[in-house]
Every structure is written in structure tokens, then in C-alpha cells.
Structure 1
């Protein structure tokens, strides 16, 4: 599929296809960016604390990692003793995830699937985890209904996400300065900002459900409507962000710190 800045467009080529193609193209450089892979033990430990805080210890419980990408969250869950299955619909991401698991001797299963129609059995998983997925959803109501279906009664969903659209005045100013410095060659650009990729990202973002920003309260309301209970919003991700920030330049770390990022946990009724 041709990428060179523009997604191939055919008669039956829609937004979901564009999203799939975008993440397939991102696979090659995905692990190079802090936040997409673990670059320090302090970050690994911070993630472990966050996961255990919301999901408890693994103890062999079955976990479904949705939009698993190159597998970083799957590996964190495996560290903690969960029996993990990762689903993604970008084959290049799955190839990298499988290779990584093999090289590390992990028994994580990775399969291709649509997160809004997983084809997984009813009541199959104790926990579901997603990171940076919800903001990309075309139909979150359908997705949340699917996720509650595959959870066991009493099972827990953990969403880690953020609002990557709306920003404060300070946030917009920092982004503008970063772009100017990148264009001037004074600041190393993120791999996402390779020629054409940022424009594709912006185009996709303008058409997904949360095109105005994936705010935690909106997601929580949709989860409740889908039948989840005990929905909790946790905005204290400072340990994770502090560990990641050590691998970014000052402006990138500042920009991240100004964003609305959060974890949301929710339970399926027993």
C-alpha cells in the first residue's frame, strides 16, 4: 500500500483502513520513541505500580491487551504474572511483537483482530487493558459493548489514554516552539513527524469519534452507559511520566506534562 504522505484511496477505502495503514507504517519506528517502549527500570516499575493499583496481581489471570502494538503493555502484564493475549490489526506491529516475545522467551499470544469486533469468546478474560487506543476509536459505544462481552463477570477494564487534541494556551505555545525548532534543525523530530506522517495523523484525528479530544469524563460516561460499574478516573500518572521525561528533551517533557492524561478503570457487574 502506498504511503508517501498520502494514504491510498479506493472505492471501499474508509477511515478504519486509513487508521490500520497508518499504524502499519508507524511500526518500523514505533519502539524508538520513549512512551512506546520501556527505556529504564524506573519506568517499568512505575507502570507495574499503576497496573497493580487498578488490576491487582496477575496470579495467572487471563488478560487481553487491545491494540497491543509492538507489545510493550503485554510484556508489562506478563511481568506481573498475567496470562496475556495481545490483539492488533496492523500485521507489521504484530510481527514486531511476536519477535520481541520470542527473543525474551515470553509466552504471550499475539493475533490480528479488530478491537471493536474481537471474535473472542464470551466471558473469556479476567482483565482487559488498552493504552492510547480509545482516542482512535470510530465507534466507542460498539467497542465498549464488545469489551464488556468478553470480560468475565467481575472482570476489570483498564484504559490508559489522553486528550491529544485540545490544549491549554501553554500547551499550544510549547507545541508551536517545538515545531519551529524542529524545522530549523535545532530539535530532533519525533519519528511520528517523518514527512507526511504528521499530516496523516492529523487527518485521522479530525474524523474519529473523539475528534475534539478524548476527555476522561466523556469516556467514563460511555462506559457507564455500556453497563460498566465502579468507573474510576485516575489522573495521577506522574511516576510514569517522570520516568519517561528523562529520555525526552525539555520541551517534549513539558508538552507531555501539560496534556490531559489519565487511567480509567471499570468493572463488569458480577
Structure 2
């Protein structure tokens, strides 16, 4: 990790995810490991955004391109944006292997430099909880949407602990080295994650109510919270240890759909 006077929190976040790129797709909840899960994601996206039909979409913090490909499969014209070159290298390789015409660009999701009113829909998965300045980010995303355009945020509170979190911790200590990939990959990565988390806006956990409030302040019509992610979680649970599956089932996870007024 680089350290100098101008090395910002945003730089640290970028480098952290770049270093995770090599093993990112090994973890359940990042890549998709079954057609059942793929169908559940398609259903969630279609429920809020409809079919693509050639409409333009922006996948913010696209990582290795999982959501970008789901959007492409539904008929959207997709741009995937991430500021990690390592993540985008994985995303581009997938697109080439699958023959998917997806545009991937290196940008900051909070400062995209994309044209105003140029997208029909924007989607984010597990981005909002990492934002440094969500007010500025939501204003930026609002500006990128065409009138009547929709934003779909898929996120959750991955910080708050409960009995299921403690159960998972005990289980992982007992089964160390047996999982597909350890959370945060190693102790050093876990330390970096903890230092970053302490300084982002939602350091105490991203809660749906607060995100709804900030989206409304940015100008979106009253956002709608969708708690019905069970089909996705049940499909993912088949690839997880039972303690982690229980934890995921009771976590504060949600999708929020917000519309830019016409």
C-alpha cells in the first residue's frame, strides 16, 4: 500500500479492492455460482427496472462485472464503471470470453465524469456502504439519469453484529483453512478493511432509512425499499457454511429503487 501526503481515503479504498481482485470472484455473494441465483438476480432487477430493450445502464463500482453481465443478459446497453484497473481486467476478460459487448471504464463512482442525463438506469451493488460522501455521490447519480430514469441500490448493513455473527466467527475459527476463501482473505487485509470502514460515511452500517432520506434530499421521488431478497439469499446459502447462511438471512439487506422526476 502506497503512503504519501496526498494519499487519500479514496486512494486507499481503490487499492484495497484492487488487491482483492484476484480472489474476489471466489467468494459467494460476489460471483454467481448457480443458475438459480442468476434467475433470482434477474427477477430482482426486472422487478424494479424492467427489461433492457436497448436502454442505457450504468453499473457503478462494477468490480469484476457480475451485475454488468446480468444487466446485459436482460437486454440493457451496459457501461461498467470502477476505479480499480485490476477489477476491470477481470471484468473485460469475462466479457471477451462471453462475447458480451459491455463498455468498461476506469472512473470514481462518486465523480464519474460521464455526461449528464445520459442513462436510463443506474445500478449499484454493495457500493453505498463504502461511500466517503454519499450526498455528493447521490447528487452525481441524479444528474446522470434522464428524466424518469431509475436508480437501483442493492446494499446492506454489513457492520452491525448479532448472535449469528458471533456464531459464524466461532465456526470459522474451528474450520480455518477449509472455506472457499477466508473473509477479507487474511489478517492484514482485515486490518486494512477495518481502518477504511472507520472513516467512511456509513461506518456504523448502511441502513435503508438513512439512504432513503439522503436519496430524497438529492431530488429523487420517494424511494421504495424492497426487502424481498430471499430468493437470492437461499440460492447463495447452498454455497455457504450453515452459520454464514443464517447470518446472511437475518442481516439488514435491501434493495432501494428511486426515480428521477420527469
Instruction: State whether TM-score is above 0.5.
Output: yes
3-state SS of the aligned residue for 1:192?
Answer: coil
d(CA) in 2 for partners of 1:73 and 1:212? 26
| CA distance 1:46–1:113, shift in 2 (3 Å) | same
Q: TM-score, normalised by structure 2?
A: 0.96
Question: 1:125-168 deviations in whole A, cap 9, x for unaligned?
Answer: 00000000000000000000000000000000000001011133
SS in 1 for 2:59: strand
Gaps of 5+ in 2: none
- Cα deviation, residue 189, structure 1: 4.9
Deviations 1:180-236 (A, max 9, x none): 2245x5656525232411111111111100001100000000000000003001111
The list of structure 1 runs, each at least 4 consecutive aligned residues, that deviate by more than 4 angstroms after superposition, is: 185-189
The structure 2 residue matched to 1:251, chosen from 225, 239, 243, is 243
3-state SS of 2:184 partner: helix
Specify every segment of 5 or more residues in structure 1 that has no aligned partner in the other structure, as ranges.
Answer: 1-6
Matches within 5 A, 1:112-127: 112-127=106-121
Contact 1:178 1:187 in 2 (8 A): no
* TM-score where L is the length of structure 1: 0.94
Cα displacement (A) at 1:254: 1.4
| Partner of residue 222 from structure 1, selected from 214, 217, 233 | 214
Residue equivalent to 1:4: none
Q: Is the 8 A contact 1:29 1:191 kept in 2?
A: no
Deviation at 1:9, TM superposition (A): 1.8
Q: Which residue of 1 aligns with 2:261?
A: 269
> How far apart, CA to CA, are the structure 1 residues paired with 2:179 and 2:31?
21
Alpha carbon RMSD of aligned pairs, Å? 1.3
Q: Does 1:171 align with 2:164?
A: yes
1:161 aligns with 2:144: no
What is the aligned length? Answer: 262
